């Protein structure tokens, strides 16, 4: 009998990838979505997923979607109520009596407070929330748990998300930043989170208790810009923000705090070691841009 899993955020990048990999392996997928009539939800349904209507605050819907599943992929939303929302799924999984495995996605280095204790207040708060959810999963008593900690996601260079991270990129082809010279950031394709999550749900004993920092290439901002140029033909300009620009743009750049943190701490991950240990191929930024070339071209100014 095919295993059944609940995938949270199944219409998003991480959950969607996880659902696709599991469906390809013959698993039955439950997906909790706010709008079952949306194109993303309909695509899931057409691919074979069972779609439940509700959100992360809807305890009744969460319990219904969790009923009869053996594992849960939990990707908490960036929400002020994320701890309680995560607890709703943990409680539903425990009360189901069928859930043996939880795979949780948080953020790179959540389990290393010495890295983020020096972060800006917003990033510090972000990490304390993630850390609390990790501890809730660890201490819940599931037969198996796995924590995945993704690094900088490659789709942050594409619209619509790039507006939150590099607001000058889409309209002007400018990759503006505050990185110090030669600072590197681990990069990851969200689809690779799906590969690991699916593997951990399908072979929970192998991954049980593993807390995995996920990242592949460790790139400077100049190297990322070069990949953008090569893939798109657009002349991308790299611009180091002045102090005045940094102050002015901070409210508009959601992840500026991560750039500041990368200037103080090493936010790099050994992707080759990950591939060797788990036998899962990771995506390079060049491969990602090639696969998403249409979306990339729509996310940048027209080539000169």
pLDDT digits (tens, 9 = 90+) for 130-182: 999 999 999 999 999 999 999 999 999 999 999 999 999 999 999 999 999 99
> For the chain, which residues score pLDDT lower than 70?
none
Give the pLDDT of residue 159.
98
The DSSP line for the chain is ---EEEETTTTSHHHHHHHHHHHHTT-EEEEEES-TTSHHHHHHHHHTPEEEE--TT-HHHHHHHHTT-SEEEE---SSTTHHHHHHHHHHHHHHHS---EEEEE--TTTT-HHHHTTS-HHHHHHHHHHHHHHHHHHTT--SEEEEEEE-EEGGGGSTTTHHHH-TTHHHH-EEEE-PPTT--EEEE-HHHHHHHHHHHHHSHHHHTT-EEEE---EE-HHHHHHHHHHHH---PEEEEPPHHHHHHHGGG-TTHHHHHHHHHS-B---HHHHHHHH--PPPPHHHHHHHTHHHHHHTSPPP-
Give the pLDDT of residue 1.
73
> Is this model's pTM higher than 0.95 or not?
yes
Give the pLDDT of residue 303.
84
């Amino acid at each position: 009998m095919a295993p059944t899993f609940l995938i949270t955020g199944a219409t998003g990048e991480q959950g969607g990838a996880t659902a696709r990999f599991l469906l390809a392996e013959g698993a039955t997928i439950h997906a909790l979505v706010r709008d079952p009539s949306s194109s993303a939800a309909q695509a899931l349904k057409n691919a074979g997923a069972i779609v439940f209507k509700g959100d992360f605050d809807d305890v009744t819907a969460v319990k219904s979607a969790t009923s009869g599943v053996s594992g849960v992929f939990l990707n908490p939303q960036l929400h002020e109520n994320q701890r309680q929302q995560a607890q709703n799924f943990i409680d539903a999984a425990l009360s189901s009596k069928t859930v043996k495995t939880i795979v949780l996605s948080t953020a790179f280095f959540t389990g290393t407070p010495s890295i983020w204790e020096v972060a800006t207040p917003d990033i510090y708060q972000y990490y304390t929330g993630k850390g609390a959810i990790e501890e809730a999963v660890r201490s819940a008593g599931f037969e198996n748990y796995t924590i995945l900690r993704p690094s900088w996601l490659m789709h942050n260079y594409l619209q619509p998300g790039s507006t939150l991270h590099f607001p000058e990129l889409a309209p002007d082809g400018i990759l503006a930043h505050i990185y110090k010279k030669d600072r590197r950031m681990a990069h990851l394709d969200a689809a690779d989170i799906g590969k690991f999550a699916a593997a951990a749900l399908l072979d929970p004993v192998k991954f049980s208790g593993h807390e995995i920092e996920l990242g592949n290439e460790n790139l400077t901002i100049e190297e990322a810009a070069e990949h953008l140029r090569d893939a798109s033909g657009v002349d991308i300009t790299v611009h180091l923000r002045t102090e005045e620009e940094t102050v002015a743009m901070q409210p508009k750049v959601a992840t500026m705090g991560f750039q500041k943190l990368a200037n103080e701490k090493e936010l790099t991950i050994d992707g080759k070691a990950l591939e060797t240990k788990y036998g899962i191929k990771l995506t390079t930024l060049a491969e990602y841009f090639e696969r998403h070339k249409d979306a990339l071209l729509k996310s940048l100014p027209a080539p000169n």
